[in-house]
């Protein structure tokens, strides 16, 4: 005996579309009405009462239609608008609707007048759409609905599905309690609460399965789908209070995101990182070999800052974990703070401020100087150093710079060939070298002694770059007349107590590593880094990755995409292509990039394939990671 296939019964409003169609119709018909907002709110309330089964559906429909005051011509506008409001994961999985066309039904308490034309584009013919129909007067005004239709009655979906008498397993996919009732009544076998557009507690609570989108539904049912692994299954852990926009951007994309306020010590991170696909951190979290050993699912690390030495980049690479950062988002914030601090130090503003806070008026010009005409020594003429150079010249400073790399002088800045030359000449020395561990104690007793007597020191780069003991000694002796220190050799993982030998010293500005902590910078980072992460997860793009061969990919819509990360040893490409050829797969595009240690190859393929090929590709010697994108 041939077994009847499974049947899929979809709801329409807020399931196939992102909206409730009658709400959209209300927006159209009430355009220009001064009570529009109020009426729409009332319609929505009535809709929800009906969906949750709190008032009879017939009553809900009657009341809404009266308030709508719609005309036949409004329906054309509505259909046009609904075309742009198809649920995202429905839209991207058209193939499923094509392949399973004969088994898909729509049962909706909405209206065929707008459902039919929409779902037709998804291969669902009118005769498999069960919904209400409007009644019009002779002028085309909507005056009611066909009351004889079971779907116009309370729990009408039960009767409708019963009448259909479908064979095989029946799965209902919908957002509302009125969809669940078909399962409750025993006519459907399974109810999937569809939460992509709206999460209705009453439906979710009773569901056999909560599906945040169609990808997940297709995944659990092993059905053909656009992306092989649903995004909601990708777990993203964001630490160190990264801007909430990052949480929103990534959640909106469909990922499961968790946001923690502080960084986590190694032991805690080792526990927490298990099952996490993407880790987002700032400068405090140490991503060590041990953390990576525990990170069984990790694909990418996002540094929501500039510095990346807190991450073991090599270990990440060996594990096939791609690291991104935000190299420019907070540059300007650091520069502005440096300018502000240089002026504050030169004017001895902090001592004056502390005195007056303590009730002491001390109007004096002693140790208070303009910055105009003074020598600013910038150590590290990179992104921050260069921008600072421009701003400092604009306020009349003479800029000297020193960098290990050849850097073009901006404006009138003067290049120093040695650090000593720079230290000898500068009234203020400001440090902007990168966070390489080799820069530890870069400024120690010897370098301080090379500075002018009474010069100032600013450090907004990394704490370990300055020997704090030597600095304290120099401040106490007056060799250095002031310092602004934003970064410390040891910084706490979260806000709270903090101690440094620099506390209580005259003309010393201390800040808790806030050089890049402005709303603008954090917002920009929360846009920049998630975009890189999404690009990598969604398409395999590694442009701007800090530890990985960069591949920029053209957009591909029709093919399958395999990502293969391997140790860079000879012959891997040949092996990959041999496997693909053996499985008769046609390569429509292939992109390879390597560095000394790893190779990253992306293969685009144009037709259905035998899943065995995946096992074969994973088995190739020296494979680090393999991923099927779609």
Ligand X SMILES: NC(=O)C1=CN([C@@H]2O[C@H](COP(=O)(O)OP(=O)(O)OC[C@H]3O[C@@H](n4cnc5c(N)ncnc54)[C@H](O)[C@@H]3O)[C@@H](O)[C@H]2O)C=CC1
Tell me if residue 564 is catalytic: no
Angle at 593 between CA 590 and CA 594, to 5 degrees: 140
Catalytic choice (27, 393, 491, 616): 491
Q: Comparing C-alpha atoms, which of 124, 85, 129 is closest to residue 109?
A: 129
Q: Which of 9, 61, 75, 334 binds ligand X (CB under 6 A)?
A: 334
Catalytic choice (462, 561, 564, 566): 462
Q: Which of 263, 330, 450, 547 binds ligand X (CB under 6 A)?
A: 330
Residue 548 Cβ vs ligand HPV, minimum distance, rounded to whole Å? 19
User: Which is closer to ligand HPV, CB of 284 or CB of 564?
Assistant: 284
Residue 325 Cβ vs ligand X, minimum distance, rounded to whole Å? 9
Q: Which stretch binds ligand X (CB under 6 A): 13-21, 251-259, 376-384, 538-546?
A: 376-384
Catalytic choice (243, 398, 513, 566): 513
Write the DSSP string, 88-110: HHHHTTHHHHHHTGGGEEEEEEE
User: Which is closer to ligand X, CB of 337 or CB of 397?
Assistant: 337
Q: Which stretch binds ligand X (CB under 6 A): 313-321, 373-381, 501-509, 605-613?
A: 373-381
Q: Confirm or reject binding of residue 53 to ligand X (CB under 6 A).
A: no
Q: Which stretch binds ligand X (CB under 6 A): 74-82, 186-194, 513-521, 545-553?
A: 513-521
Q: Comparing C-alpha atoms, which of 153, 232, 228 is closest to residue 199?
A: 232
User: Which is closer to ligand HPV, CB of 211 or CB of 517?
Assistant: 517
Question: Which class for 336: exposed (0-12), middle (13-18), buried (19 or more C-beta within 10 A)?
Answer: middle
Tell me if residue 432 is catalytic: no
Angle at 37 between CA 36 and CA 41, to 5 degrees: 115
Burial 209-235 (b: 16+ CB within 10 A, else e): bebbbbbbbbbebebebbbebbbbebb
User: Which is closer to ligand HPV, CB of 282 or CB of 319?
Assistant: 282
The neighbouring-strand residues paired with 508 are 483
User: Which is closer to ligand HPV, CB of 272 or CB of 282?
Assistant: 282
Q: Which does 157 bind (CB under 5 to 8 A by kind): ligand X, ligand HPV, none?
A: none
Q: Confirm or reject binding of residue 480 to ligand X (CB under 6 A).
A: no
Alpha-carbon distance of 259 to 107, in angstroms, equals 39
- Provide the token pair at 22: 């009658």
Cα torsion 600, 603, 608, 614: sign:
negative
Q: Which conformational region is residue 380 in: left (phi greater than 0), alpha (psi within -120 to 50 degrees), or beta? A: left
Residue 241 Cβ vs ligand HPV, minimum distance, rounded to whole Å? 9
Q: Which of 119, 278, 460, 602 binds ligand X (CB under 6 A)?
A: 460
Q: Which does 232 bind (CB under 5 to 8 A by kind): ligand X, ligand HPV, none?
A: none
Alpha-carbon distance of 530 to 406, in angstroms, equals 32
User: Which is closer to ligand HPV, CB of 357 or CB of 437?
Assistant: 437
Alpha-carbon distance of 335 to 148, in angstroms, equals 72
Q: Comparing C-alpha atoms, which of 527, 526, 528, 555 is closest to residue 541?
A: 555
Cβ atoms of residues 588 and 559 within 8 Å:
yes
Query: Count of residues binding ligand X (CB under 6 A)?
Result: 32
Q: Confirm or reject binding of residue 279 to ligand X (CB under 6 A).
A: no
Q: Map tokens 């401040």 to a residue.
A: 475
Q: Comparing C-alpha atoms, which of 406, 371, 403, 411 is closest to residue 387?
A: 411
Q: Which of 439, 450, 507, 542 binds ligand X (CB under 6 A)?
A: 439
Taking residues 291 to 320 in sequence order and writing x for each that binds ligand X by CB under 6 A, - otherwise, the string is ---------------xx-------------
Q: Which stretch binds ligand X (CB under 6 A): 100-108, 430-438, 553-561, 615-623?
A: 430-438
Residue 395 Cβ vs ligand X, minimum distance, rounded to whole Å? 20
Query: Which spans of this chain sit near ligand HPV (rule: CB under 6 A)?
Result: 282-284, 305-307, 330, 513, 516-517
Tell me if residue 582 is catalytic: no
Q: Which does 282 bind (CB under 5 to 8 A by kind): ligand HPV, ligand X, none?
A: ligand HPV
User: Which is closer to ligand X, CB of 433 or CB of 457?
Assistant: 433
Which residue has the CB atom at the shortest distance from ligand X? 382
Cβ atoms of residues 351 and 301 within 8 Å:
no
User: Which is closer to ligand HPV, CB of 284 or CB of 575?
Assistant: 284
Instruction: Print the SS3 string covering 543-557.
Output: CCCCCCCCCCCCCCC
Residue 228 Cβ vs ligand X, minimum distance, rounded to whole Å? 37
Q: Which of 196, 403, 447, 544 binds ligand X (CB under 6 A)?
A: 403
Residue 106 Cβ vs ligand HPV, minimum distance, rounded to whole Å? 49
Q: Which conformational region is residue 172 in: left (phi greater than 0), alpha (psi within -120 to 50 degrees), or beta? A: beta
* N- to C-terminal Cα separation, the chain: 35
Write the DSSP string, 281-344: E-SS--B-HHHHHH-SS--EEEESSS--TTB-HHHHHHTT-EEE--SSTTHHHHHHHHHHHHHH
Strand ranges inside 98-189, DSSP E: 104-111, 129-132, 134-136, 142-145, 170-174
Distances (CA, A) of 255 to 192, 209, 229, 237, 270: 19, 18, 11, 10, 21
Residue 310 Cβ vs ligand HPV, minimum distance, rounded to whole Å? 9
Q: Which does 217 bind (CB under 5 to 8 A by kind): ligand X, ligand HPV, none?
A: none
Chain residues that interact with ligand X, rule: CB under 6 A: 306-307, 330-331, 334, 379-385, 402-405, 407, 432-436, 439, 442, 460-462, 486-487, 513, 515-516
Query: Which residues are marked as active site?
Result: 462, 491, 513
């Amino acid at each position: 005996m041939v077994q009847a296939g499974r049947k899929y019964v979809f709801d329409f409003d807020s399931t196939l579309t992102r909206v409730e169609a009658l709400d959209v119709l209300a927006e159209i018909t009430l355009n220009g009405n001064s009570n529009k907002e109020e009426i729409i709110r009332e319609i929505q309330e009535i809709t929800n009462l009906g969906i949750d089964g709190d008032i009879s559906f017939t009553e809900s429909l009657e009341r809404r239609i009266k308030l709508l005051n719609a005309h036949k011509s409004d329906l054309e506008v509505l259909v046009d608008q609904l075309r742009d409001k198809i649920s995202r994961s429905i839209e991207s999985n058209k193939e499923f609707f094509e392949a399973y066309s004969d088994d898909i039904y729509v049962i909706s308490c909405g209206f065929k007048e707008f459902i039919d034309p929409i779902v037709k584009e998804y291969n669902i013919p009118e005769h498999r759409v069960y919904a209400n129909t409007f009644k019009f007067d002779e002028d085309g005004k909507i005056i009611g609905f066909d009351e004889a239709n079971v779907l116009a009655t309370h729990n009408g979906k039960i009767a409708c599905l019963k009448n259909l008498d479908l064979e095989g397993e029946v799965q209902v996919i919908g957002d509302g309690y009125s969809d669940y009732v078909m399962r409750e009544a025993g006519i459907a076998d399974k109810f999937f609460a569809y939460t992509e557009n709206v999460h209705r507690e009453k439906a979710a609570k009773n569901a056999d399965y909560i599906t945040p989108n169609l990808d997940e539904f297709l995944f659990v049912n092993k059905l053909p789908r656009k992306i092989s692994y649903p995004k909601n299954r990708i777990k993203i852990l964001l630490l160190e209070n990264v801007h909430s926009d990052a949480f929103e951007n990534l959640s909106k994309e469909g990922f499961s995101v968790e946001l923690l306020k502080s960084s986590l010590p190694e032991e805690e991170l080792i526990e927490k990182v298990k099952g996490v696909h993407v880790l987002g951190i700032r400068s405090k979290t140490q991503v060590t070999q041990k953390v990576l050993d525990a990170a069984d699912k990790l694909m990418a690390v996002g540094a929501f800052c500039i510095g990346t030495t807190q991450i073991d980049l090599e270990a990440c690479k060996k594990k096939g974990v791609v690291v991104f950062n935000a190299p420019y988002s907070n540059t300007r914030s650091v520069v502005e703070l440096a300018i502000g601090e240089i002026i504050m130090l030169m004017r001895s503003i902090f001592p004056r401020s502390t005195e007056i806070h303590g009730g002491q008026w001390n109007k004096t010009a002693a140790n208070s100087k303009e910055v105009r005409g003074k020598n600013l020594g910038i150590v590290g003429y990179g992104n921050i150093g260069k921008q600072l150079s421009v701003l400092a010249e604009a306020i009349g400073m003479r800029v000297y710079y020193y960098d290990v790399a050849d850097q073009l002088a901006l404006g009138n800045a003067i290049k120093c060939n040695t650090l000593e030359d720079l230290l000898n000449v500068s009234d203020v020395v400001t440090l902007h070298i990168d966070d390489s561990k080799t820069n530890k104690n870069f400024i120690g007793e010897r370098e301080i002694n090379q500075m002018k007597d009474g010069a100032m020191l600013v450090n907004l780069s990394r704490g370990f770059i300055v020997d704090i003991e030597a600095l304290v000694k120099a401040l106490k002796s007056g060799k250095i007349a002031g310092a602004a220190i934003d970064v410390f050799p040891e910084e706490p993982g979260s806000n709270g107590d903090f101690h440094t030998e620099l506390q209580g010293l005259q003309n010393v500005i201390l800040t808790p590593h806030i050089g890049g902590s402005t709303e603008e910078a954090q917002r920009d980072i929360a846009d920049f880094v998630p975009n890189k992460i999404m690009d990598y997860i969604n398409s395999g793009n590694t442009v701007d990755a800090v530890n990985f061969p960069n591949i920029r990919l053209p957009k591909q819509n029709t093919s399958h995409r395999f990502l293969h990360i391997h140790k860079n040893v000879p012959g891997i490409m040949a092996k990959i292509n041999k496997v693909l050829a053996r499985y008769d797969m046609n390569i429509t595009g292939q992109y390879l990039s390597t560095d000394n240690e790893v190779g990253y190859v992306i293969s685009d393929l144009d037709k259905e394939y035998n899943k065995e090929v995946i096992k074969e590709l994973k088995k190739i010697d020296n494979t680090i990671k393999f991923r099927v994108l779609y």
